[in-house]
Homo-oligomer: A and B are copies of this chain.
Amino acid sequence: MQHRFPPPFRLPRWATHVTRQVGRSLRSDEDRMRFVIELASMNVINRTGGPFAAAVFETRTGRLVSIGVNVVVLTGCSLAHAEMVALANAQHTVRHFDLGAAGIPRHELVTSSEPCAMCFGAIPWSGIRRVLCGARSSDAEAIGFDEGPKPRQWITALKQRGITVVRDLCRREAVAVLQQYKQRGGIIYNAHRES
């Protein structure tokens, strides 16, 4: 329905071989989450961004539609959180700005850490109907990241819009990647807190 522009956010070079896996099916929630946690770890090891990754899957078939990693520093763009990159890439693949449009399969977002205020706000517009989260926001905060001004009742707010949230999926493995990042002295950049 739209012109074929390139996807908004570039992925790091190492991700090229991962994007070749688009179309592959991962059946269980845990398989999908472990795939995403592995991506987050690769982003840390390759020093291409924050310790966060995400992917969009077709819910029923488990078909991988897109991946995203945090490329804020790499691309010089504060919007380039893992979830935003995965959503934009999925919409590029599906060729529609609404992943919940009539006539296309239901889609879900799998993210290695709970979404920040921006990514939370992006979810209802994206057409995603289910969100699977690994680490909690409190885990990301424990290594110094800030989730921003997200409503306390964010899961309820999504539920009211027909979006299901699953938390704590492979949480321990997801937290390990956050700690790996901290141990390697990764940059902790944050929203401003004072004037």
Let me know if A91 and B78 touch, CB within 8 A.
yes
Please pick, from B2, B96, B149, the residue contacting A154 in the complex, using a CB distance under 8 A: B149
Interface pair A78/B161, CB less than 8 Å apart:
no
A1-26 interface with B by 8 A CB criterion? 1-3, 5-6, 8-10
Which residues of B lie under 8 Å from residue A79 when comparing CB positions?
Answer: 8, 79, 84, 87-88, 122, 125-126
For chain A, the count of residues having a C-beta within 8 Å of the partner chain is 57
Say if the beta carbon of A134 comes within 8 Å of chain B.
no
Which of A80, A95, A129, A151: most chain B CB closer than 10 A? A151
In A48-83, the 8 Å CB interface with B consists of 72-80
What residues on B are CB-neighbors of A192 within 8 Å? 100, 124, 127, 129, 161-163
Q: How far is the CA of A137 from the CA of B147 in the complex (A)?
A: 24
CB distance from A104 to the nearest CB of B (A): 13
User: What secondary structure prevails in chain A residues at the interface with B?
Assistant: loop
B-contact bits for A134-168, CB 8 A (1 contact / 0 none): 00000000000000111100100110111110000
**A92 partner, pick from B6, B77, B127, B150, beta carbons under 8 A:** B77
**Are A2 and B91 closer than 8 Å at their CB atoms?**
no
State whether the Cβ of A193 lies closer than 8 Å to any Cβ in chain B.
Answer: yes
Could you tell me which A residues sit within 8 Å of B by CB distance? 1-3, 5-6, 8-10, 72-80, 84, 87-88, 91-92, 95-98, 100, 116-122, 124-127, 129, 148-151, 154, 157-158, 160-164, 189, 191-195
The 14 listed contacts between A and B (C-beta, < 8 Å) are A1-B73, A8-B75, A76-B95, A77-B97, A78-B98, A78-B126, A78-B127, A79-B79, A79-B122, A79-B126, A100-B192, A125-B191, A149-B157, A161-B193
